[in-house]
Chains A and B, each alone.
Chain A
Amino acid sequence: MANPAKYPAPQGNPETAEFWKQAAEGKLLIKRCTACGEAHYFPRSICPFCFSDKTVWEESSGEGEIYSFSLMRKSASGPYAIGYVTLKEGPSILTNFVDCDLGRLRIGQKVRVVFKSTEGPPLPFFTPV
């Protein structure tokens, strides 16, 4: 019998503290560079595209679609599906799909963010709309 998944608590650091603070409020943050206009994830203080330090936090809609996925058939916590979600805002996020029939996932499917608790701040996961 598989044990329920227990997710590791994010450790956080000064660069990402705001992300985890807002995650606790159920908000998914991305970073946007005000110099070049590009959004990115996971968050950096310096833009990975133009290297400007003029990056700001932005709340994502939490909506997107599945770019790709793979259903891992066995693990200590049972089957799970890893994948990338491309957010409406542009960046893609590595995640797991939860609270759904894993056998019915497909590329292009619309999904939305849900947060799952850890012993620290909650983590973003996605579920079909």
Chain B
Amino acid sequence: MSIKGKAFIAGIFEHPTRHAPDKSTAQLHAEVAKGALEDAGLSKADIDGYFCAGDAPGGVMAMVDYLGLKVRHFDSTDTGGCSYIVHLGHAAEAIAAGKCSIALITLAGKPRTGPMPPRATGAEADFEAAYGATTHNVYGMCAMRHMHEFGTTSEQLAWIKVAASHHAQYNPHAMLPDVVTVEDVLNSPMISDPLHRLDCCVVTDGGGALLVTSETIARSLKKPLVRMIGHGEALKGPRGGTDLDLTYSAGVWSGPRAFEEAGVSPKDIKYASVYDSFTITVLMQLEDLGFCKKGEGGKFVADGNLISGVGKLPFNTDGGGLCSNHPVNRGGMTKIIEAVRQLRGEAHPKVQVQNCDLAIAHGTGGLLGIRHAASTCILERA
């Protein structure tokens, strides 16, 4: 049993806002759901499956009631920023098994203009909470170790921000639309060694939604067909402090699972959406997914290799989380959305990849340097 070719992404919507002081979080979820329905040409009554994560106020029961849905399948797996890529795989499984036929996945929230819910903790809390782990310093520890083992440099990391900024200049909704240079990144203030301010993503209010459905229903709709052909998910933690290795992520497992199911390899990929909470996140993921060897990510990303029309692997052509949007500090949703735009030919003409028929969307969630999840999907133009 495989989900290969069993599920199609029929509707996408990215909220244009980056700052929403006058809206509620639940309202943003409803707005992105409405946007995805309009994109797909479907109505709310068609939805029979719903997926949401920790950003959904009150969880799946409250959201289904608030949105006025009637569903026969639901899933509220929360793995931080990659939850929505996990949901995509679970939705495909549910569709393949006949548990639902049109699944809605939503993400929304407002970290700029409202309180963020505390990060969930487990049995480790007494042994870790006092040490002030934040995304910045935990990803900083990963970058520090990567530099130590492989000689990766701040200049190489900066190229990732530079590439994202080259794409963001064409996105009218991007929070940071200005092109930056390697020097700009290196000259920005140090936040948590070795990560500078411009190594970090933006913090934005907003959200996004997806509608996932069967081939039969997708073919009855008007949008270009995008089908999922492979999916993987994985978890990684220090596991008793004995398995600690900050140079790789759970992407070393989720990526190969997705590629194997899809029957393709990294060299076949025309466009890559890669979660970019920080520049180091991208560098490690590109290695883990097999776009280059472990330790060679620095060389791979340098000199514009990720810029559409310039380099070999165009990535995050919407400007990504580094420059455009990172709603609720969870970047997985927008990664899928831009990959679908590329496969549909709906990306901005300046960044649209020619003949883009195969794309990857990959994300991590949680804290890369402590315990985290990764999820990968391979999407194809049908």
Taking Cβ atoms with an 8 Å cutoff, the residues of A that contact B are 7-8, 10-12, 15-16, 20, 38-42, 44, 48-49, 67-75, 80, 82-84, 86-87, 90-96, 107, 118, 123
Contacts and interface: CB of A to CB of B under 8 A. Distances in A.
A12 B126 contact: yes
A38 B137 contact: no
A25 to B, nearest CB: 17
Given A69-B193, A73-B189, 19 more contacts: A7-B130, A38-B242, A39-B240, A39-B242, A40-B240, A41-B241, A42-B126, A71-B137, A71-B140, A73-B193, A75-B132, A82-B131, A82-B137, A82-B141, A90-B242, A94-B127, A95-B131, A107-B144, A123-B130
B46 interface: no
Given A42-B124, A94-B127, A70 B192 contact: yes
* Interface secondary structure of B, over-half rule: mixed
Given A38-B242, A72-B137, A94 B189 contact: no
Interface of B: 123-134, 136-138, 140-145, 148, 189-195, 238-242, 244, 246, 369-370
Nearest to A124: B127
Contacts of B369: 68
Contact of B148 (A38, A39, A70, A107): A107
A48 B240 contact: yes
B126 A118 contact: no
A84 B141 contact: yes
A80 B127 contact: no
28 contacts: A7-B130, A8-B130, A16-B126, A20-B126, A40-B240, A40-B241, A41-B240, A44-B240, A48-B239, A48-B240, A67-B145, A67-B246, A70-B138, A72-B132, A72-B134, A72-B137, A82-B133, A82-B137, A86-B244, A91-B240, A92-B238, A92-B242, A92-B244, A93-B241, A94-B127, A94-B128, A94-B370, A118-B130
